């Protein structure tokens, strides 16, 4: 990966693509710090993402994400895992655009295998969780398509995804 001096590496993509796991491994490899945006929001708010959604609503959570994006725009030397919907907001994408952004992709069936029993994903709350996942993925695809760099993580190990990210720009 070239030209990452004075930048962060931002990992985005749908929930379940491995942003946090890959982010931790990538940060360790680079000797950088790792930051999970959802985890930082939870720490600052003193409650889980699910509770924020339940008690304050999605709009409040999205505002917290946007505020954090503006803060992170000036940070350097971090690998940052966004929430799955963070960069769907064009303003957030523009705020972080000077950093190296990589979208992790996965086939829908793999996402379903990873998320079918997850109870910490408020965006999947539905009587028909699989249909909700597929509809949300389809709705977010145009936003993910705006991101220049992609890695299909469907059949790759964490280390293989890290390697693909490191080789970008060679």
Instruction: Give the chain's domains with CATH numbers.
Output: 9-162 (3.40.50.300)
Q: Do residues 68 and 109 lie in contact, with contact meaning Cβ atoms separated by under 8 Å?
A: no
Phi, psi angles (nearest 5°) of residue 152? -85, 110
Q: Tokens 């999970």 label which residue?
A: 36
Q: Do residues 8 and 77 lie in contact, with contact meaning Cβ atoms separated by under 8 Å?
A: yes
Q: Kindly tell me if the per-residue pLDDT of 10 is higher than 80.
A: yes
Instruction: Provide mean pLDDT across the span 88-114.
Output: 95
Tell me the per-residue pLDDT of 116-154, one tens digit each, with 9 for 90 and over: 777 778 777 777 889 989 999 999 999 999 999 999 999
Q: Do residues 45 and 52 lie in contact, with contact meaning Cβ atoms separated by under 8 Å?
A: yes
| pLDDT at site 169 | 66
Q: How much of the chain exceeds pLDDT 70, in percent?
A: 96
Instruction: Provide mean pLDDT across the span 66-94.
Output: 96
Closest of 94, 82, 95, 81 to residue 162, by C-alpha:
81
State the Cα–Cα distance between residues 123 and 128, nearest whole angstrom.
12
Which string of b and e fits 37-57 if b means at least 16 CB within 10 Å?
bbeebbeebeeebbebbeeee
| pLDDT at site 5 | 61
Name the pLDDT band for 4 (thresholds 50, 70, 90): low
| pLDDT at site 118 | 78
Global pTM exceeds 0.75: yes
Both tokens of 168, joined, read 């970008």
Q: Kindly tell me if the per-residue pLDDT of 29 is higher than 80.
A: yes
């Amino acid at each position: 990966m070239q030209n990452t001096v004075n930048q962060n590496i931002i990992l985005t993509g749908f929930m379940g693509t491995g942003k946090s796991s890959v982010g931790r491994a990538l940060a360790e490899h680079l000797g950088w710090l790792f930051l999970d945006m959802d985890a930082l929001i939870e720490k600052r708010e003193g409650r889980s993402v699910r509770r924020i959604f339940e008690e304050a609503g999605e709009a409040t959570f999205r505002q917290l994400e946007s505020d954090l994006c503006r803060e992170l725009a000036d940070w350097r030397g971090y690998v940052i895992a966004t929430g799955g919907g963070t960069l769907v907001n064009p303003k957030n994408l523009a705020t972080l655009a000077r950093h190296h952004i990589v979208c992790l992709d996965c086939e829908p069936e793999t996402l379903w295998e990873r998320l079918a029993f997850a109870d910490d994903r408020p965006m999947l709350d539905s009587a028909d969780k699989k249909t909700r996942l597929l509809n949300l993925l389809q709705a977010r695809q145009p936003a993910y398509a705006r991101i220049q760099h992609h890695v299909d993580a469907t059949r790759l190990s964490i280390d293989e995804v890290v390697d693909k990210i490191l080789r970008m720009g060679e």
